[in-house]
Structures are given as C-alpha cells and as structure tokens.
Amino acid sequence: MWDLCTNALDTAKVRGAAYGDVRAMYLRQRDLTTKNGQVGTLAESESIGMGIRVLANGAWGFASTDRLTREGVASCAAKAVSIAKASALAKRSNVVLAPEKEYIDSWQSPFRKDPFEIPLETQLALLLAADAEMRKVKGVTLTETSMQFRKIDSWFASSSGSRIHQRKVISGCGIGATSFQSGEIQKRSYPNSFGGQHALEGYELIESLELLKHAPLVAEEAAALHSAAQCPEKFGTLILAGNQLGLQIHESIGHPIELDRVLGQEANFAGTSFLTLDQLNHLKYASSIVNVVADARLDHGQGLGTFAYDDEGVPAQCTDIIKDGKFRGYLSNRETAHLVGLERSSGTMRTESWNRLPIIRMTNVSLLPGTWDFDDLIADTQDGILMDTNRSWSIDDRRYQFQFSTEIGWEIKSGKKVRMLKNPSYSGITTEFWNSCDAICKFDHWTLWGTPNCGKGQPMQTMGTGHGAAPSRFRNVRLGTAFSKQ
C-alpha cells in the first residue's frame, strides 16, 4: 500500500502540486437487527480505495479511486491536481497550512475480542434472545435490537514525509421496546436510544452491556409509561441523565465549536454557529463548575472520537473548549488554525471513507466530571424532574435555541424519586442553560457515550463522535412544553 501512496504523491508533485496527502482505507462492517422476533438486517460489506488531496496554485483539489494499481492511482492524482488548478481560478485567497511535523507511526485501538471473529450465529442468537425477553411483557407491541461492528484500516502519507497506519475496531448495540395503547406511543431503550451505545472496543463491549439482563425492565417501563403522570409544564429544576446530557453536549456545544461552521465554510445538516470569533476567551458560556474538553487521546477513553492521528496526520490532542465556564477553544484544522491565533491544528480532520474529503469533525467533546454522588444529588433536590434517554431533539441553525424530549422522567420531591412521568421535555437557550448548571456528578457516574450517526457535509458524511457526561443538575429550566395540549 505504501508503494501506491508514494506513486500518488510523486505523480501529484510532477503535475504541479505544492503539497499532497493520501488516505488509503479498508473498511469492513457488519450490521444485525431484529424486529418482533424476526431477523431484520443481516449484512456484511467491505470497501477499499484511496483518496488524494493536493494543493496547487493555492487551492485544494481532491479525487478518489478504487483502482488500486499504479496506473489507477497515477490517474487519480493527476485528476486531483487538475481540480485544484481549476479551483484556483475562483479562489478568494491562497490556502495557508499551519506547520506540522512528519510522523512515521503505526497504531491500533485496544480491544480484547475481535467482533468479526465471533460467529454471526452467536451474535444473532443474543439479539433474538433479548428480543424474546421483551416480547414476554404484556402491552409491548414492537421490539427491536441491533448490533454494529466496524473495522477500519487507514494508511496516511503526505508529501512532507509522514507515513501513518491506524487500525480501529468499533462495536455497538442496543435494544428497544415500544408500546402502543389508546392512540399513544411510548418507548424505552437501553443503554441509549438511536442504536444504543457504541465505542472503540471489541465484542467485550456487547458482553458488558448485559442485554438479556436489562431487556425485561426496558419492556416493563415502556408499557408502564402509559399509566404514568404527564410531565408538568413549568419552570423548575432539571436533572439530566448522562446519556441525554451527552446529546445536549453534542448539539449545543459540539456543533457550534466547529470552526468551519463559525467561518461560514460549512452549514449543511447542522447550520452555522452563534460562536463568532469575537467571543473566544470572552463569552461566559456556562457556570464556573462547567469544564468541557475536546479530547481525541486514548487517555480520555475508548470513544468514537478517539484516534492517534487525524486525517491530516496531526496527533490527537486535548483542547479546552469551556474552562471554568469561559469559552476557550474551537475545533480547527491546519487551514483554519491561524484564523484564531493558533500555531497548529487542534487535530480534528476526519473522513468517513476513502472517497470523501476530510472535514472538521467532533472528537470526544466531553463534560468533565464534578464532585457529586448521584444519590446525594437526588437527596439535595427538593423539587425537580430527572429526565433519561433522548426521544427527540430540535435546535436552531445557529445552535442557540433548543428543545429536547426524553423517553422517561421521574418526579423528585423532598430528595426522593416519587413517581414516573411520561412525555418529559425541556427547552432553553444554550448559554442560559449551561449557566444554570449547579451540580455535576463525579467520575464514578461518568460514561463516554458514543454517537455513531452524526451527519455533516455535502455529500453527507456520517461519523462517530464521543461525549463524556455524568448526571448533572440545572436550575430554572422550562419544562414540559413539547407535549403541551395548549
């Protein structure tokens, strides 16, 4: 593979490229789903190819190919240079790249059990067994389960001398039960909604989640929600479970800190951003106990945003996003770093596949743990609502005003959970919401949640991101409006 990469770079240089980099990728994936005791999806696929990115006459060009021969790669490199020269005719200014060292390295994500070595029959049997357990509960009308596995090998080479090989193994699974009664739908999911939990781990992740153990409770809660009280509409105290808070971080912190959105270079799927450049180091984003980082290092955890090098060959880093409540940093790449006074990229360029151009993506954007024990947080709350597991979300195209609903809620009175609530929801303004945070649970309750389906760009790229969070409390939040009958 390295010979083909070198051939591509040599061709690009001869054709007039001032800089070039190559990403060869091999992707293998397996998807399994069941629905009401029947197999829904049983698919396995492979893909291999090469993407070539070049700078010529101060502009970018990109081309890709699955013809991994010397002739095919040389033709692709020549095409990339031609595209760059054509793009230069309409450029506003020359692309300027922040400097980066060259790296010769190889890295593999840690895992104990290769999911592709586990028999398909074993994996499917587990899903069907969990499905059967949920269907035993009276009142359940739809049961769903899923597993996803990805193995990604990438070879990165640049004209500055880097040669980096990375191998990642990703696993994920989830179950859900839906109950339809009297014209109303209620659903419960485990361990999270929209596909469950995903991480940079092997099959050991699936085993640790104990789907069979949790399946009955998932189904029982889905059916019980029909008899639960409606979430009241009021301003009050909100406690968010970690899985819901992970999505809150994704939508109201992760997307607005993507520097290409801030600069107006990207708006597809998630809009632009309210975080204009003048707010860096000035905006009071959150209360003083809130600290958020973008951390792609393995030390942070085995998240979907974990790697050793990004797709520009920049090493994984930890970047302060919110420090003691103050806004401190963006997600940048080599092209945009100098625009916010940085000497180097923060290492956030990633691509979905070999036939897509790398773009700025969230890594693991996480709320750092606080000091509270969860039981103490509940006991300290006199009147509030605990909301768990996302059901729906909506946020404006500058990531400023939002509304979320969750699958289940619990009313808290005098420091105790007293009753289940259905159709819980909350809404607010991003900075007001985060400034209302007055308690964050400690590391014992912290999970690095995986979001496998973040869409961005055009043509759209779907990537995984990570969001570490522990249950947290917010004061004077608008509650219950999403399902108001008024």
Do 29 and 127 lie in a common domain? yes
pLDDT confidence bin for 270, thresholds 50/70/90: confident
Q: Do 189 and 303 reside in the same domain of the chain?
A: no
C-alpha pair distances (Å), 411 with each of 111, 192, 266, 348, 421: 40, 21, 41, 40, 7
Q: Are 447 and 284 in contact (CB under 8 A)?
A: no
Per-residue pLDDT tens over the stretch 8-27 = 999 999 999 999 999 999 99
Task: Please determine, for residue 268, whether its predicted confidence score (pLDDT) is greater than 90.
Answer: no
Q: 316 and 195 in one domain? A: no
Query: Following CA atoms 471, 477, 480, 485 in sequence, which dihedral angle do they give, to the nearest 10 degrees?
Result: -170
The answer to the question of residue 327 being in a domain is: yes
Residues 92 and 149 in one domain: yes
Is residue 485 one of the residues assigned to a domain?
A: no
Q: What is the pLDDT of residues 429-456, one digit of tens each?
A: 999 999 999 999 999 999 999 999 999 9
Kindly state whether residues 197 and 286 are assigned to the same domain: no
In a domain, 394, yes or no: yes
Whether 244 and 425 have beta carbons less than 8 Å apart is answered as no
Same domain (yes/no): 253, 169: no
- What b/e string do you get for 454-481 counting C-beta neighbours within 10 Å, with b at 16 or more? bebbeeebebbbbbbbbbbbbeebbbbe
Q: What is the 3-state secondary structure (H, E, C) of the chain?
A: CHHHHHHHHHHHHHHCCCEEEEEEEEEEEEEEEEECCEEEEEEEEEEEEEEEEEEECCEEEEEEECCCCHHHHHHHHHHHHHHHHHHHCCCCCCCCCCCCCCCEEEEECCCCCCHHHCCHHHHHHHHHHHHHHHHCCCCCCEEEEEEEEEEEEEEEEECCCCEEEEEEEEEEEEEEEEEEECCEEEEEEECCCCCCEEECCCCHHHHHCCHHHHHHHHHHHHHHHHHCEECCCEEEEEEECHHHHHHHHHHHHHHHHEHHHHCCCCCCCCCCCCCCHHHCCCCECCCCCCCEEEECCHHHCCCCCCCCECCCCCECCEEEEEECCEECCCECCCCCHHHHCCCCCCCCEECCCCCCCCEECCCEEEECCCCECHHHHHHCCCEEEEEEEEEEEEECCCCCEEEEEEEEEEEEECCEEEEEEECCEEEEEHHHHHHCEEEEECHHHCEEEEEEEEEECCCCEEEEEEEEECCEEEEEEEECCCCCCC
Residue 186 lies in a domain: yes
Looking at the structure, tell me whether residues 281 and 177 fall in a common domain.
no
Q: Let me know if residue 238 belongs to a domain.
A: yes
pLDDT category, 484, cuts 50, 70, 90? low
The pTM for the full model equals: 0.96
329: pLDDT strictly greater than 80: yes
- Residue 486: per-residue pLDDT: 45
**CATH number of the CATH domain containing 87:** 3.30.2290.10
| Domain termination site, one of 209, 227, 245 | 227
Domain annotation covers residue 484: no
Partner residues linked to 56 by β-bridges: 59
| 209, 317: one domain | no
Domain count, the chain: 2
pLDDT at 369: 98
pLDDT averaged over the chain? 96
Question: What range does the domain containing 472 cover?
Answer: 229-479
Which of 227, 246, 269 is a domain's end point? 227
pLDDT score recorded for residue 33: 98
* Measured distance CA(69)–CA(242) in Å, rounded: 48
Together in a domain, 221 and 248: no
> 60-64, 126-130, 340-344: which range is least confident on average?
340-344
Query: Tell me: the pLDDT tens digits for 393-417?
Result: 999 999 999 999 999 999 999 999 9
Report the pLDDT averaged over residues 135-164: 98
How far is the C-alpha of 396 from the C-alpha of 110, rounded, in Å? 38
Domain end position, chosen among 208, 227, 246? 227
Beta-carbon count within 10 A of 98 CB: 18
Condensed to tens digits (0 to 9), the pLDDT of residues 18-68 reads 999 999 999 999 999 999 999 999 999 999 999 999 999 999 999 999 999
Say which residue, 402 or 340, is predicted with more confidence. Answer: 402
Residues of the chain above pLDDT 90, percent:
96
Q: Is residue 73 part of a domain?
A: yes
Residue 414 inside a domain? The answer is yes
d(CA 467, CA 457) in angstroms, rounded, equals 21
> 216-227: per-residue pLDDT in tens?
999 999 999 999
* Residues 70 and 166 occupy one common structural domain: yes
Question: Within this chain, do residues 139 and 279 fall inside the same structural domain, yes or no?
Answer: no
Whether residues 95 and 26 share a domain: the answer is: yes
